[in-house]
Amino acid sequence: MTERGISKKPGDGVAISSIVTAFHCTRQYFFYSEMKSNPSEKYSICKHVSCADPDIKEEKLWDIICMIHPDISVEKRSFLKDCLNAVRHVPVRPWTDTDILVRSDRAGIYGLLDKYDATAEEYTLTRCTKAPQKGCWPEDAIRTAALLICLEDTCKKKPEGLYIEYIPSGIIRYYEPTPKDRRKVFQLINKVRDVNKGGIPKKPLNPPCSGCRFFDRCSQNEPRRLSFLFKK
Ligand code: SF4
């Protein structure tokens, strides 16, 4: 699952990564959907830390990451070192399969789950962000709700929640989505579909504009107010 990547497969439904981007701001989703998405290097590092042999040396892991991301900057190695230190005394979640494609034809969504442990029949999401004080971040609640909707469509045993491993903090949380999270997923599916049909969406009520990379473009696309026409 890409950290910020937008995948649109017309006919295949809405990518859960798109739903999460639209959750931050529908306009951001609009701008991102016009761009080519690159996989997040931090996410890739966290994936490797999460799935690596516990005794693996930092150097060996860095070598592998460099082969996967030949253009990765050397500064990212300190992120790898911090992540390895963070999980040193906290065993990461067990797994028997990784990158499991899940989908719900009823909801028209699909996404990738990071880990599945066949022994306990449990699923895990791997995040490359630090953990919040308690619970999970709102975007992870939405992600979890969407993934569970997919699992409920395809699995015999329906899990009630997912484990979320916050690799940079070395913290693992378990989250069961609420009906409110699920409602939000369905609202966002409709918003993403509207954007995919074309047209720039309106700004949401409290958009996270501070530090947004699309700030200038977004301001240029402001709908003109009628008062503009009567300006002296
Ligand atoms: S500047 Fe604000 S409204 Fe515009 S895309 Fe960014 S977050 Fe959304």
Express each pLDDT in 65-75 by its tens digit.
Answer: 999 999 999 99
Question: Is the confidence at residue 98, as pLDDT, over 90?
Answer: yes
| 203 vs 169: CA distance, rounded Å | 33
Please tell me the distance between residue 125's alpha carbon and the centre of ligand 1 in angstroms. 27
Express each pLDDT in 128-167 by its tens digit.
Answer: 999 999 999 999 999 999 999 999 988 877 899 999 999 9
CA angle centred on 52, ends 51 and 54, rounded to 5°: 120
CA-based max dimension of the chain = 73
The answer to whether the beta carbons of residues 89 and 170 sit under 8 Å apart is yes
Structural domain harbouring 176: 8-196
Is residue 209 domain-resident?
A: no
CATH number, position 123: 3.90.320.10
Q: Into how many domains does the chain fold?
A: 1
| 213 vs 28: CA distance, rounded Å | 9
The confidence score (pLDDT) of residue 38 equals: 78
Ligand 1 surroundings by CB, under 6 angstroms = 25, 27-28, 31, 203, 207-209, 212, 214-215, 218
Is residue 231 domain-resident?
A: no
Return phi, psi of residue 210, to 5°: -60, 120
For the record, the structure tokens of 86 come out as 């963070």
Site to probe by mutation for ligand 1, drawn from 23, 203, 217, 220 as the one with most ligand atoms within 8 Å of Cβ, is 203
